[in-house]
Amino acid sequence: MVAPADTMGRQATAAPFAIELKGISKAFGPVQANKDINISVPKGTIHGIIGENGAGKSTLMSILYGFYKADSGQILVGGTPTPIPDSQSAIRAGIGMVFQHFKLVQNFTVLENIVLGAEDGALLNTSLGNARRILRELAQEYGLDVDPDALIEDLSVGHQQRVEILKALFRQADILILDEPTGVLTPDEADHLFRILRGLKDQGKTIILITHKLREIMEATDNVSVMRRGTMVATVKTRETSPEQLAELMVGRKVLLEVEKTPAVPGKVVLSVENLRVRDEHGVERLKGISLDIRAGEILGIAGVAGNGQSDLLGALGGMTKATGRITLNGVDLPLSGAGADGQSRREAGIAHVPEDRHHHGLILDFTAWENVAFGYHNDPKYQKSALFMDNDALRADTEKKMATYDVRPPIATLEAKNFSGGNQQKIVVAREVEQNPDLLLIGQPTRGVDIGAIEFIHKQIVALRDAGKAILLVSVELDEIMSLSDRIAVMFDGQIMGMRDPATTDERELGMLMAGMDGKTAGEAA
């Protein structure tokens, strides 16, 4: 194995804490990302770090992994002060990191990825041979089975994550940091990950789990530290706290975690989709015959792991993607290709669209808030001064009104979109689409990268629109969001709808099976 003497050194200096951070501060220009952070992680525990986007969690972990240098403060590993100027030092100190976006070479084998940077010598053959042996031992010890000769691009996301964990273990990491590890996993894969983590903990490894999902913190951790606006506001024992308390610590005020809504009163069919098919530019069929109805006054939630056709469904309905099949809105056929199959025509027909990716499709970041509020509705008569000129004053006034209603901060219509936080950007997009009072709202990943406070607000708006008798198609990879908002749930897998479920009678387990492409009949065997 790599540098065995080093490991023995670490074990000899047994201390109660695997990692201690003392007074860590880091500023990026005027932004203070970390302010005087103190944290002690006991050996052999799973320690959660939770906080909203921009709270400074990732910065803190990047400092620990040698990506950034702290402006001040001290890092102690196993009781010894350890400067970590680069990743190599972090690896030497026994720290391993599993990034949110995997750092794997796609067309390399598992073995090559694991060996990269930790080779035994200048020639590969011996390195690969040794690595194969060590990998087999690790697989037995921790139940981390991966085919060493498989190409990364052929592996599922869950397996790729296992390769990242194996990479860290191969480098003899005693402390494993995982940054938002479940964002890309199905519930089943996430459960498997937590089983692996508990196994690692039983073997004496220390694990730091960064997440914004309260449920995972409650399920998997021993202790949890909460960060807010660059400071560490509290560290508590997990079994002595509650999701409500953690949410309050994160946001700084009481937050409603449950969405309050009354049972739906579905009316007539607003949108009817029959045999909708989409091919991508490579000729691959992304939607394989989707049929569904959405009624007035109901929210249809589309669950699924990202990349199973949800985006193509939104694209086809929103007029962004060419498709075949048939869609009718209030009984009127809408074109799926050629003239009239564009976002502008769809909006005129009464379909509003909050796109999944607000940075690429929802907003132009370099444009001001009021310009962004005009997009898609710039031909609306109320924004026209004459045949040639737009009424920018009316538009600005309208934007300011919307910003006040939606509590967008800061409420400055002339500020460029990029200067708002993720949650406030999303509020601008939602305000633009919802305030047009559409018959059908398409809304994709409404709360991705949005902080808890704004999530609560956006959810309320969606429910209010439903209660006003509108139809809503909600696409989200967050199963909690789908479960709490939807009146009916459709699960997509591989461009098809695997099943329709009633949120009152289904559970995450059943939905997770459908998301993995297993219907009810085969679910029993797979489990």
Partner 1 sequence: MDYATLLQLLDTTLRLATPLLLACLAGLYSERAGIFDIGLEGKMLAAAMSAGAVAALTGSAWAGLLAGIGASMLFALLHGIAAITFRGNQLISGVALNFLASGLTVLIAQALFQQGGRTPPLSGPARFNAITLPGAEALREVPLIGPLYYEVISGHSVLVYMAFLIVPLTWWILFRTRFGLRLRAVGENPAAVDTAGISVVGLRFAAVGITGILCGIAGAYMATALQAGFGREMTAGRGYIALAALIFAKWRPVAAMWACLLFGFFQALALRPDVVQAVVQVRVPVPLLDALPYLLTVLVLAGFVGKAIPPRAGGQPYVKER
| Number of Cβ atoms within 10 Å of the Cβ of 411 | 16
Indicate whether 123 belongs to the interface with partner 1 (CB under 8 A): yes
Q: Does position 154 bind partner 1 by CB under 8 A?
A: no
The residue from 106, 344, 405, 522 that contacts partner 1 (CB under 8 A) is 106
Region of 143 please: left (phi>0), alpha (psi -120 to 50) or beta.
Answer: left
Task: Give me the least distance between CB of 70 and partner 1, in Å please.
Answer: 14
Strands (E), 239-335: 269-279, 285-295, 299-303, 324-329, 332-334
Q: Minimum distance between the CB of residue 309 and partner 1, rounded to whole angstroms? A: 24
Nearest to partner 1 of 15, 124 (CB atom)? 124
- Which residues face 514 on adjacent strands? none
Which lies closer to partner 1 via its Cβ, residue 65 or residue 406?
65
The smaller minimum CB distance to partner 1, of residues 105 and 265, is found at 105
Indicate whether 112 belongs to the interface with partner 1 (CB under 8 A): yes
108 part of the interface to partner 1, by CB under 8 A? yes
CB of 88 to partner 1, least distance (A): 3
The site string for partner 1 over 19-58 (x = CB under 8 A, - otherwise) reads: ---------------------------------------x
Which residue in 18, 46, 49, 104 binds partner 1 (CB under 8 A)? 104
Q: Does 3 bind partner 1 (CB under 8 A)?
A: no
**What type of residue sits at position 285?**
E
Q: Which is nearer to partner 1, 50 or 497 (CB)?
A: 50
The minimum distance between CB 296 and partner 1, in angstroms, equals: 44
Q: Cα 414 from chain centroid? A: 30
Angle between helices 452-467 and 422-434 (to 10 degrees): 10
Among 34, 45, 113, 447, binds partner 1 (CB under 8 A): 113
Site string for partner 1, 61-100 (x = CB under 8 A): -x--x-x------------------xxx-xx-----x-x-
Q: Rounded distance, CA 153 to CA 109, Å? A: 9
In this structure, which amino acid lies at residue 280? D
Instruction: Pick the piece of the chain touching partner 1 (CB under 8 A) from 2-10, 102-110, 245-253, 459-467.
Output: 102-110
Q: Please give the backbone phi and psi of residue 176, each rounded to the nearest 5 degrees, phi first.
A: -115, 125
At residue 145, what are phi and psi to the nearest 5 degrees?
-85, 120
Give the whole-angstrom CA distance, residue 442 versus residue 318: 7
Q: Which residues contact 128 (CB under 8 A, 6 or more apart)?
A: 111, 112, 115
Q: Interface with partner 1 by CB under 8 A: which range of 60-68, 192-200, 362-370, 391-399?
A: 60-68
Q: Which is nearer to partner 1, 60 or 209 (CB)?
A: 60
Q: How many Cβ atoms sit within 10 Å of the Cβ of residue 386?
A: 7
Verify binding: residue 157, partner 1, rule CB under 8 A: no
> What are the angstrom distances between the C-alpha of 518 and each of 119, 490, 497, 511, 527?
40, 14, 12, 10, 10
Find all residues with CB under 8 Å of 339, minimum gap 6, and list them: none
Residue 410, preceding peptide bond in cis (omega within 30° of 0): yes
- Distant-in-sequence, close-in-space partners of 405: CB < 8 Å, separation ≥ 6: 431, 435
Residue 2 or 390: the one with the smaller Cβ distance to partner 1 is 2
Taking a C-beta distance cutoff of 8 angstroms, is the pair 191, 160 a contact? no
Which residue of 12, 14, 122, 284 would you call a contact of partner 1, by CB under 8 A? 122
- The residue to which tokens 């699960």 are assigned: 491
Residue window 443-472: x/- pattern of binding to partner 1, with contact defined by CB under 8 A:
------------------------------
Q: Residue 274 half-sphere exposure, CB side, CA atoms within 13 Å?
A: 8
The correct pick among 15, 27, 76, 124 for binding partner 1 (CB under 8 A) is: 124
Can you say how many angstroms the Cα of residue 526 is from the centroid of all Cα atoms in its chain? 26
Pick 107 or 386: Cβ nearer partner 1: 107
Is residue 332 near partner 1 by the rule CB under 8 A? no
For residues 77 and 336, which CB has a smaller minimum distance to partner 1 in the complex? Answer: 77
Q: What is the Cα–Cα distance from 32 to 52, expressed in whole angstroms?
A: 15
Distance CA 423, CA 447 (A): 8
Which residue number, 67 or 383, has a Cβ lying nearer to partner 1? 67
What is the DSSP secondary structure assignment for residue 259, as one 8-state letter? Answer: P
Report if residue 103 touches partner 1, rule: CB under 8 A.
yes
Cβ proximity to partner 1: between 104 and 294 the closer is 104
Q: Which two tokens stand for residue 131?
A: 């690595």
CB of 360 to partner 1, least distance (A): 18
Per DSSP, the residues of 470-516 read -EEEEE-S-HHHHHHH-SEEEEEETTEEEEEE-TTT--HHHHHHHHT
Cβ 48 to partner 1, closest distance in Å? 20
**What binding mask, one character per residue, do residues 125-144 give for partner 1 by CB under 8 A, x or -?**
x-x-----------------
Select 113 or 424, whichever has its Cβ closest to partner 1: 113
Nearer to partner 1, 14 or 123 (CB): 123
Footprint on this chain of partner 1 (rule: CB under 8 A) = 58-59, 62, 65, 67, 86-88, 90-91, 97, 99, 101, 103-108, 112-113, 115-119, 121-125, 127
